[in-house]
Amino acid sequence: MEKIIFYILAIIIIVFAIASVTSRKMLRSVIYLLFVLCGIAGIYFLIDYNFLAAIQLTVYAGGIIVLIIFSVLLVHHIEMELEDIKTSKKILVGLASLLGLGVFLTTIYAYNFPVIENSNSIDMDTIGLGLLSYEAGGFILPFEVISVLLLAAMIGAIVIAKGTKIATSDKPKGKSLEKN
């Protein structure tokens, strides 16, 4: 049963991944990418890693894909199609992807995956305590670093959004440049 579901998910991921890079219409390839991400979330559900699956759905499917769709909606008209690429570029990109595939396959086949019997699904309490513990194996440092990074990004976004307003409201031009 699980094997069948895994193969169905794998086929979905592969087919839509290929479709998303070969499609000539921009929004369609975004939607194919969405299906790929949902398929990956499905695999996380299959291995009983519910938290990561929900994160995958919120961050990638709900956040990033919606942002991409937004930018496509703003800049792209429905009748536009992506240009055909030169043959030399196609060959170059093909070689690069083959190289990447080779690296991945050799790593996967060289590594000896240990099989874990009786895996338990991890509940939220364990994840939360793990994020906040400062003992060995705890994740407090990366957690804090990420929060600082997010704060910096937030301040940056506010500054960018406010930028023109400050420039127009101040009368002397030199001052506004300094502020920005």
Partner 1 sequence: MNISLSITKNIHNWLFSIMPEGVASITEMVLIAVVYLAIFAVAGLYLVLLERRVAAWFQLRIGPNRVGYQGLLQTMADALKLVSKELTGTIKADKFLYNLAPYFVIVTSLMALALFPFTQEFQAFDINIGIFFLIAISSIGVIGILLGGWASNNKFAMIGAMRSGVQTISYELSVGLSLITMVLISGSLQLSEIVEVQKNGWLIVQGHVPAVIAFMIYMIAGTAETNRAPFDLVEAESELGAGFHTEYSGMKFAYFFLAEFINMFIIAAIATTIFFGGWLSPFGITESIPILGLFWFLGKTLVLIFLMMWFRWTFPRLRVDQLLTLEWKYLLPLNLLNIVLMALIVWLNLTIQF
> Which residues contribute to the site for partner 1 (CB under 8 A)?
1-2, 5, 25, 27-28, 31, 34, 45-46, 48, 50-51, 54-55, 57-58, 61-63, 65-66, 69-70, 72-73, 78-79, 121, 123-124
CB of 4 to partner 1, least distance (A): 10
Q: Which is nearer to partner 1, 72 or 176 (CB)?
A: 72
Q: Which is nearer to partner 1, 13 or 43 (CB)?
A: 43
CB atoms closer than 10 angstroms to residue 23: 18
How far apart CA 58 and CA 152 sit, in angstroms, is 22
Question: What is residue 137's DSSP assignment?
Answer: T
Find out whether 20 and 32 touch, Cβ atoms under 8 Å: yes
CB of 19 to partner 1, least distance (A): 11
Q: Which is nearer to partner 1, 12 or 69 (CB)?
A: 69
Q: In 37-79, at which residue ranges do the beta strands (DSSP E only) sit?
A: none
Find out whether 110 and 121 touch, Cβ atoms under 8 Å: no
Q: Which is nearer to partner 1, 79 or 83 (CB)?
A: 79
CB of 72 to partner 1, least distance (A): 8
Residue partners of 159: CB distance under 8 A and separation at least 6: none
